[in-house]
Amino acid sequence: MGRWEPGARERLVVAAVDLFAEQGYDATTVAQIAERAGVTKSTFFRHFPDKRELLVAGQETLCRLLAEGIAEAPGDAGPLDAVAAGLERATATMGPVNREIAPRLKAAVAASTELQERDALKSLSLAAAMTTALAARGVPDPIAALAGELGVLAFKRGYAQWSEGDREGEDELAGHVLAALEELRAATAALG
Protein backbone atom coordinates (compact mmCIF):
# COMPACT_ATOMS: atom_id res chain seq x y z
CA MET A 1 0.00 0.00 0.00
CA GLY A 2 1.46 3.35 -0.97
CA ARG A 3 2.11 5.99 1.62
CA TRP A 4 -0.06 8.47 -0.32
CA GLU A 5 -3.21 6.38 -0.05
CA PRO A 6 -5.94 7.83 2.18
CA GLY A 7 -6.69 6.60 5.67
CA ALA A 8 -3.10 6.47 6.95
CA ARG A 9 -4.03 7.80 10.40
CA GLU A 10 -6.79 5.22 10.86
CA ARG A 11 -4.56 2.42 9.54
CA LEU A 12 -1.83 3.44 11.99
CA VAL A 13 -4.23 3.28 14.93
CA VAL A 14 -5.57 -0.14 13.90
CA ALA A 15 -2.05 -1.47 13.29
CA ALA A 16 -0.84 -0.20 16.65
CA VAL A 17 -3.79 -1.66 18.55
CA ASP A 18 -3.29 -5.01 16.83
CA LEU A 19 0.43 -5.05 17.61
CA PHE A 20 -0.10 -3.91 21.20
CA ALA A 21 -2.57 -6.77 21.67
CA GLU A 22 -0.33 -9.33 19.95
CA GLN A 23 3.04 -8.56 21.47
CA GLY A 24 2.50 -5.92 24.13
CA TYR A 25 2.94 -2.17 24.14
CA ASP A 26 6.59 -2.17 25.25
CA ALA A 27 7.67 -4.68 22.59
CA THR A 28 6.01 -2.76 19.76
CA THR A 29 8.10 -0.26 17.81
CA VAL A 30 7.09 2.65 15.65
CA ALA A 31 8.76 0.91 12.70
CA GLN A 32 6.55 -2.16 13.21
CA ILE A 33 3.43 -0.03 13.43
CA ALA A 34 4.31 1.86 10.26
CA GLU A 35 5.13 -1.35 8.40
CA ARG A 36 1.87 -3.01 9.45
CA ALA A 37 -0.07 0.10 8.38
CA GLY A 38 1.71 0.20 5.03
CA VAL A 39 3.30 3.61 5.56
CA THR A 40 6.76 4.98 6.24
CA LYS A 41 8.08 5.99 9.67
CA SER A 42 8.02 9.61 8.57
CA THR A 43 4.32 9.26 7.76
CA PHE A 44 3.80 7.88 11.28
CA PHE A 45 5.53 10.92 12.76
CA ARG A 46 3.43 13.29 10.63
CA HIS A 47 0.37 11.92 12.43
CA PHE A 48 1.71 11.11 15.91
CA PRO A 49 4.68 12.39 17.93
CA ASP A 50 5.19 8.92 19.48
CA LYS A 51 3.41 5.60 19.97
CA ARG A 52 1.84 6.72 23.27
CA GLU A 53 -0.29 9.22 21.39
CA LEU A 54 -2.02 6.49 19.39
CA LEU A 55 -4.26 5.73 22.36
CA VAL A 56 -5.63 9.25 22.41
CA ALA A 57 -6.03 9.59 18.64
CA GLY A 58 -9.08 11.73 18.06
CA GLN A 59 -9.26 12.96 21.65
CA GLU A 60 -9.16 16.64 20.68
CA THR A 61 -11.96 16.08 18.19
CA LEU A 62 -13.99 14.16 20.75
CA CYS A 63 -13.56 16.95 23.31
CA ARG A 64 -14.56 19.56 20.73
CA LEU A 65 -17.66 17.61 19.68
CA LEU A 66 -18.72 17.09 23.30
CA ALA A 67 -18.35 20.82 24.00
CA GLU A 68 -20.17 21.81 20.80
CA GLY A 69 -23.05 19.47 21.56
CA ILE A 70 -23.37 20.88 25.07
CA ALA A 71 -23.19 24.47 23.80
CA GLU A 72 -25.86 23.79 21.17
CA ALA A 73 -28.30 22.08 23.56
CA PRO A 74 -31.58 23.96 24.05
CA GLY A 75 -31.26 26.87 26.46
CA ASP A 76 -33.66 25.31 28.94
CA ALA A 77 -31.83 21.95 28.99
CA GLY A 78 -30.62 20.87 32.40
CA PRO A 79 -26.97 19.91 32.91
CA LEU A 80 -27.44 16.19 32.20
CA ASP A 81 -29.65 16.89 29.20
CA ALA A 82 -26.90 19.14 27.84
CA VAL A 83 -24.35 16.39 28.51
CA ALA A 84 -26.63 13.98 26.63
CA ALA A 85 -26.60 16.37 23.65
CA GLY A 86 -22.81 16.46 23.78
CA LEU A 87 -22.53 12.69 24.03
CA GLU A 88 -24.93 12.20 21.15
CA ARG A 89 -22.95 14.58 18.96
CA ALA A 90 -19.58 13.02 19.81
CA THR A 91 -20.67 9.40 19.46
CA ALA A 92 -22.19 10.02 16.03
CA THR A 93 -18.65 10.09 14.64
CA MET A 94 -17.74 6.64 15.95
CA GLY A 95 -18.41 3.71 13.70
CA PRO A 96 -17.45 0.16 12.77
CA VAL A 97 -13.68 0.66 13.06
CA ASN A 98 -14.05 1.92 16.63
CA ARG A 99 -16.22 -1.06 17.46
CA GLU A 100 -13.88 -3.50 15.76
CA ILE A 101 -10.74 -2.42 17.61
CA ALA A 102 -12.37 -1.85 21.01
CA PRO A 103 -11.75 -5.34 22.49
CA ARG A 104 -8.10 -5.33 21.38
CA LEU A 105 -7.62 -1.81 22.66
CA LYS A 106 -9.13 -2.77 26.01
CA ALA A 107 -6.74 -5.73 26.27
CA ALA A 108 -3.74 -3.59 25.32
CA VAL A 109 -4.63 -0.94 27.92
CA ALA A 110 -5.16 -3.58 30.61
CA ALA A 111 -1.69 -5.01 29.92
CA SER A 112 0.23 -1.71 30.07
CA THR A 113 0.62 0.68 32.97
CA GLU A 114 1.67 3.43 30.57
CA LEU A 115 -1.47 2.98 28.46
CA GLN A 116 -3.62 2.91 31.61
CA GLU A 117 -2.14 6.27 32.57
CA ARG A 118 -2.85 7.67 29.08
CA ASP A 119 -6.41 6.37 29.27
CA ALA A 120 -6.90 8.05 32.65
CA LEU A 121 -5.59 11.35 31.24
CA LYS A 122 -8.00 10.98 28.32
CA SER A 123 -10.91 10.60 30.75
CA LEU A 124 -9.81 13.71 32.64
CA SER A 125 -9.63 15.65 29.39
CA LEU A 126 -13.14 14.58 28.35
CA ALA A 127 -14.55 15.51 31.78
CA ALA A 128 -12.81 18.89 31.65
CA ALA A 129 -14.23 19.62 28.19
CA MET A 130 -17.77 18.87 29.36
CA THR A 131 -17.33 20.76 32.65
CA THR A 132 -16.02 23.84 30.84
CA ALA A 133 -18.86 23.72 28.30
CA LEU A 134 -21.43 23.42 31.08
CA ALA A 135 -19.85 26.29 33.03
CA ALA A 136 -20.08 28.42 29.87
CA ARG A 137 -23.85 27.72 29.95
CA GLY A 138 -23.97 29.12 33.48
CA VAL A 139 -24.06 25.80 35.33
CA PRO A 140 -22.48 26.23 38.79
CA ASP A 141 -19.05 24.64 39.16
CA PRO A 142 -19.82 21.66 41.43
CA ILE A 143 -22.83 20.69 39.32
CA ALA A 144 -20.90 21.17 36.06
CA ALA A 145 -18.02 19.03 37.38
CA LEU A 146 -20.35 16.26 38.54
CA ALA A 147 -22.28 16.27 35.26
CA GLY A 148 -19.00 16.15 33.31
CA GLU A 149 -17.79 13.17 35.34
CA LEU A 150 -21.13 11.41 34.85
CA GLY A 151 -20.80 12.08 31.13
CA VAL A 152 -17.41 10.34 31.04
CA LEU A 153 -18.74 7.41 33.05
CA ALA A 154 -21.75 7.11 30.72
CA PHE A 155 -19.48 7.25 27.68
CA LYS A 156 -17.22 4.50 29.05
CA ARG A 157 -20.11 2.27 30.13
CA GLY A 158 -22.00 2.74 26.87
CA TYR A 159 -18.87 2.22 24.78
CA ALA A 160 -18.10 -1.02 26.62
CA GLN A 161 -21.65 -2.34 26.12
CA TRP A 162 -21.63 -1.34 22.44
CA SER A 163 -18.22 -2.80 21.69
CA GLU A 164 -18.94 -6.06 23.51
CA GLY A 165 -22.46 -6.41 22.10
CA ASP A 166 -23.89 -8.12 19.04
CA ARG A 167 -21.63 -7.23 16.12
CA GLU A 168 -24.27 -8.25 13.61
CA GLY A 169 -26.66 -5.60 14.89
CA GLU A 170 -26.95 -2.15 13.43
CA ASP A 171 -27.20 -0.43 16.80
CA GLU A 172 -25.28 2.79 17.23
CA LEU A 173 -23.04 3.85 20.05
CA ALA A 174 -25.22 6.83 20.96
CA GLY A 175 -28.09 4.62 22.11
CA HIS A 176 -25.84 2.72 24.52
CA VAL A 177 -24.20 5.87 25.87
CA LEU A 178 -27.51 7.68 26.39
CA ALA A 179 -29.00 4.62 28.11
CA ALA A 180 -25.97 4.51 30.41
CA LEU A 181 -26.44 8.20 31.21
CA GLU A 182 -30.08 7.57 32.13
CA GLU A 183 -29.03 4.69 34.40
CA LEU A 184 -26.54 7.00 36.11
CA ARG A 185 -29.17 9.73 36.44
CA ALA A 186 -31.44 7.26 38.23
CA ALA A 187 -28.55 6.02 40.37
CA THR A 188 -27.71 9.56 41.54
CA ALA A 189 -31.34 10.11 42.52
CA ALA A 190 -31.11 7.00 44.71
CA LEU A 191 -28.16 8.46 46.61
CA GLY A 192 -30.58 10.62 48.57
The fourth-level CATH superfamily of domain 8-53 is Homeodomain-like (1.10.10.60)
- Give the DSSP per-residue string, 134-174: HHHTT--HHHHHHHHHHHHHHHHHHHHHHHHS-TTS---HH
Question: What is the per-residue pLDDT for 170?
Answer: 65
User: Which residues lie below 8 Å from residue 107, measured CB to CB, with a gap of 6+?
Assistant: 21
User: Which residues lie below 8 Å from residue 183, measured CB to CB, with a gap of 6+?
Assistant: 154, 157
Domain ranges of the chain: 8-53, 56-189
d(CA 64, CA 98): 18
Question: What is the per-residue pLDDT for 7?
Answer: 85
Using 50 as the pLDDT threshold, list the residues of the chain that sit under it.
Answer: 1-3
CATH class entry, domain 56-189: mainly alpha
Let me know if the fold of 8-53 is the same as that of 56-189.
Answer: no
- The pTM of the whole model exceeds 0.95: no
